[in-house]
Amino acid sequence: MRCSIIAGLAVMSFNPLRILGSALGFTVIGTRRLAELESRAGADNAQGTDTTAVLLRLADAEGQVAAINKAQAVITFELDGTIRSANDNFLRTMGYSLEEIRGKHHGMFVEPSHRASAEYRSFWAKLGRGEFDAGQYQRIAKGGRNVWLQASYNPILDAAGKPLHVVKYATDVTEQVTFARQLRNAVEETKAAVTATMNGDLTKRINSSDKTGEVAALSNGVNALVDILSSVIQQIRDTAGQVQFGLEEISQGNSNLSQRTSEQAASLEETASSMEEMASTVKQTADNAGMANNLAIAAQSQAEKGGSVVGSAVAAMSTINTASNKIADIMLAKNKHVSFAEIQRAVRWHYQYVVLTDFLPTIVGRDLVHGILPHLLTGGSLKHYQPGLTVYSWKKAPFIPIEFSAAAYRFGHSMVRPIYRLNQTLTDRQTIFSSDENKSLNGFREFPSTWAIDWDLFFDPGGAPTKGKDRIQKSYKIDTSLVNPLGDLIAAKIVSSAPPSLALRNLQRGRSFGLPSGQNIARLMGIPPIPDTELRVGKATAADTPTNPLLTDISPEFKDNAPLWYYVLAEAQQEFKDDAGPIRLGPVGGRIVAEVIIGLMLGDSHSFLVQEPWWTPFPEFMRTVKRPSKPLGEEQEFKIRDLLKVIL
């Protein structure tokens, strides 16, 4: 059974004037203030001038500015960078009073070398022309303290389009950037410790004194592993020293020592590789507070597991290694001098190809993918057919925006089924989350060996039956409902603190990040927002659709103000026609997801899109399918199910 997200929305609207109004970037005019405005409007009307609409719009604008000032650090500059004013959030972040900064230049917040650079002069010249700038900036607070801000500089224009002044909206992300740097340092020190261990030096350790929180715990966990390894080897050495006779036993003992040392060193090397991958992820998402927090939780979990972290890292990479080995065999058969870097690149490109040609077209539609990457449709090059990234861009390095991580990419939560059949030999199906571990797919534990996954039950190998226990278990449609097990994560021991509902957690996450409403994002993209009369909450089925309540029935404060995560789901639900038809993401959610994923590939100088845009997987892996529209009536394709065959 599935449950709607009405409960989550209802909790959010418990105090709509306080919770929804301020959290989503709007405020509600008090009745007394509104009465004053109406009184003024009535007086003007009596003199023949209807100013009601103007006053109400002015009040709405004042309310929005007040809400922004509550949630973000805001500072206003003249076009030359002279400080005009700043709100309390900005002053607290930087440690100044308004009197200390008013009338001074923005340069007081930047390093002297950067202040004198051509880049800095160009920055203010750009703003003076009325051009927007956004990104992650290092600034200097009072006393020389370093502060990292995720910010946007917004030129304010007059009615003629002439720049008047510049307003900066910012969020302090110093903690997340510090975490990312500490993790990168821990990775480098881990690699050094692993290298030393492989060379017989068991004294090398990670310095955890300059690290805090989860990174310190992770560093201590790696040190504990090296301590255990050192102790094991020392015990064997001591035993060998006590043996006076039996050269054969000593020889065997040395052999065991060599084998165990190699196995432990290899496992540590896998751990270093896994940590390096984690650091790479943090680099991409350091400006996303929510994602950095998730990585911190993951790091803490690994550190707490102690010695088992090595085995977990090896197990997690086993399927990737299988694909790597098959690709390596093919490449070595053609060229025995092929390098490891070339094999690694080929493995990565196969995964990227599946994401670009199968996953994205399935989720957002092929037309949208071709609109962003027109060279795929025209047969031209990226040089002549520039990518159509309209809402996602980066200044120095690609990043994952919070509109993606905290809202749009969470569409998958609505597609999860409550129970799954893992293979055809099991008599029972497993619930995704349950307090009964014998019937639940709860993670953070070892599963029974009989719970092997038969991927033919999840991806159609061709000709699969539509009924019976060997049918394909398709994902649920993207709609505004989640299955019941996702409604009580505390009972299933997935989380330890309230709220227990995943829907409410998603809504609160969006609110805490101050995400704009779905309607505002749509307007930003030039897409007509969905009318409130068509935004409903519930399952996308023929039986439920007519009776699903309107979002505004839950609270009038949702009028033209739908939470972004909900809006992405509701937008997809607009495509519902019948129970058998698929549903893809709509124009807002689809563009956010597609542009971010494609943008990350375009921003990666090692991706196949950048190096060889027309690269295709190895012919040995491709599958021939009939396509009457093609010149030869068929074409080669490589999809997720084909990748699974390579891996398995």
Assess whether 180 and 304 both reside in one domain.
Answer: yes
> Taking a C-beta distance cutoff of 8 angstroms, is the pair 500, 488 a contact?
yes
**pLDDT per 10-residue tile (average), the chain, 648 residues:** 58 38 32 44 46 56 68 92 94 94 95 93 93 92 93 88 92 87 80 72 75 74 72 48 32 41 44 42 38 37 38 44 76 88 91 94 95 86 86 88 94 94 90 87 87 89 80 91 89 85 90 93 96 93 88 91 95 85 90 96 93 91 83 83 81
Assess whether 28 and 163 both reside in one domain.
Answer: yes
Assess whether 106 and 137 both reside in one domain.
Answer: yes
Q: Is residue 384 part of a domain?
A: no
Which three-class secondary structure string do you get for 439-503?
HECCCCCCCCHHHCCCHHHCCCCCCCCCCCCCCCCCCCCCCCEEEHHHHCCCCCCCCCCCCCCHH
**Ramachandran class of 264: left when φ > 0, alpha when ψ lies in -120 to 50, beta otherwise:** alpha
Residues 6+ apart with CB under 8 A from 369: 356, 360, 361, 376, 594, 598
What is the Cα–Cα distance from 585 to 206, expressed in whole angstroms?
Answer: 46
Q: Is residue 499 part of a domain?
A: no
The residue out of 175, 195, 222 marking a domain boundary is: 175
Rg from Cα positions in the chain = 29
Residue reference for tokens 């086993």: 318
What is the Cα–Cα distance from 589 to 584, expressed in whole angstroms?
Answer: 9
Q: Is residue 51 part of a domain?
A: yes
Select from 128, 189, 194, 195 the least CA-distant residue to 163.
Answer: 128
Amino acid 643: pLDDT: 85
What is the Cα–Cα distance from 26 to 395, expressed in whole angstroms?
Answer: 29
> Amino acid identity, residue 565?
W
Residue 147 parent element (H or E)? strand 146-157
Assess whether 230 and 83 both reside in one domain.
Answer: no
Determine how many CB atoms are found less than 10 A away from the CB of residue 267: 19
The residue out of 154, 175, 196 marking a domain boundary is: 175
Select from 459, 377, 414, 411 the least CA-distant residue to 596.
Answer: 411
Amino acid 362: pLDDT: 93
Assess whether 117 and 196 both reside in one domain.
Answer: no
Q: Is residue 559 part of a domain?
A: no
Assess whether 150 and 238 both reside in one domain.
Answer: no
> Taking a C-beta distance cutoff of 8 angstroms, is the pair 489, 555 a contact?
no
What is the Cα–Cα distance from 35 to 102, expressed in whole angstroms?
Answer: 36
Cis amide bond preceding 631, omega within 30: no
Q: What are phi and psi of 25, to 5 degrees?
A: 95, 15
Rounded to 10 degrees, the C-alpha dihedral 229/231/234/239 comes to -110
| β-strand partners of 147 | 139
What is the Cα–Cα distance from 609 to 618, expressed in whole angstroms?
Answer: 16
Assess whether 109 and 136 both reside in one domain.
Answer: yes
Q: Is 46 in a helix, a strand, or coil? A: helix
Q: Is residue 467 part of a domain?
A: no
Amino acid 560: pLDDT: 95
> Amino acid identity, residue 444?
F
> What is the domain-level CATH number for residue 107?
3.30.450.20
Select from 183, 211, 423 the least CA-distant residue to 291.
Answer: 183
Burial class, 29, CB count within 10 angstroms (exposed 0-12 / middle 13-18 / buried 19+)? middle
> Taking a C-beta distance cutoff of 8 angstroms, is the pair 481, 506 a contact?
no
The residue out of 321, 341, 356 marking a domain boundary is: 321
Give the torsion sign (CA, 521, 525, 528, 530): negative
Residues 6+ apart with CB under 8 A from 569: 411, 414, 478, 479, 480, 589
Query: Containing domain of residue 63, as a range?
Result: 16-175
What is the Cα–Cα distance from 320 to 447, expressed in whole angstroms?
Answer: 20
> Taking a C-beta distance cutoff of 8 angstroms, is the pair 360, 598 a contact?
yes
Assess whether 36 and 71 both reside in one domain.
Answer: yes
DSSP character at residue 174 = H
What is the Cα–Cα distance from 548 to 18, expressed in whole angstroms?
Answer: 27
Assess whether 84 and 197 both reside in one domain.
Answer: no
Q: Is 544 in a helix, a strand, or coil? A: coil
Take residue 241 and report the two structure tokens written for it. Answer: 């020293």
DSSP string, 624-640: EEE-TTSTTSEEEE--H
Q: What is the largest CA-CA distance in the chain?
A: 116
How far, in whole angstroms, is CA 485 from its chain's centroid? 23
What is the Cα–Cα distance from 269 to 109, expressed in whole angstroms?
Answer: 42
Q: Is residue 233 part of a domain?
A: yes
Amino acid 536: pLDDT: 93
What is the Cα–Cα distance from 375 to 324, expressed in whole angstroms?
Answer: 29
What is the Cα–Cα distance from 343 to 130, expressed in whole angstroms?
Answer: 48
> Taking a C-beta distance cutoff of 8 angstroms, is the pair 80, 163 a contact?
no
Q: Is residue 345 part of a domain?
A: no
Q: Is 427 in a helix, a strand, or coil? A: coil
Assess whether 118 and 166 both reside in one domain.
Answer: yes
Amino acid 384: pLDDT: 82
Select from 623, 592, 615, 200 the least CA-distant residue to 406.
Answer: 592
How far is residue 382 from each of residues 151, 376, 385, 441, measured CA to CA in Å?
30, 9, 5, 44
> Amino acid identity, residue 566?
Y
> Taking a C-beta distance cutoff of 8 angstroms, is the pair 587, 527 a contact?
yes
User: How many domains, in total, are found in the chain?
Assistant: 2
How far is residue 299 from each of residues 15, 274, 276, 320, 647, measured CA to CA in Å?
36, 11, 12, 21, 27
Q: Is residue 641 part of a domain?
A: no
Assess whether 20 and 166 both reside in one domain.
Answer: yes
Assess whether 168 and 217 both reside in one domain.
Answer: no
What is the Cα–Cα distance from 639 to 645, expressed in whole angstroms?
Answer: 10
Take residue 327 and report the two structure tokens written for it. Answer: 């690709």
Amino acid 322: pLDDT: 62
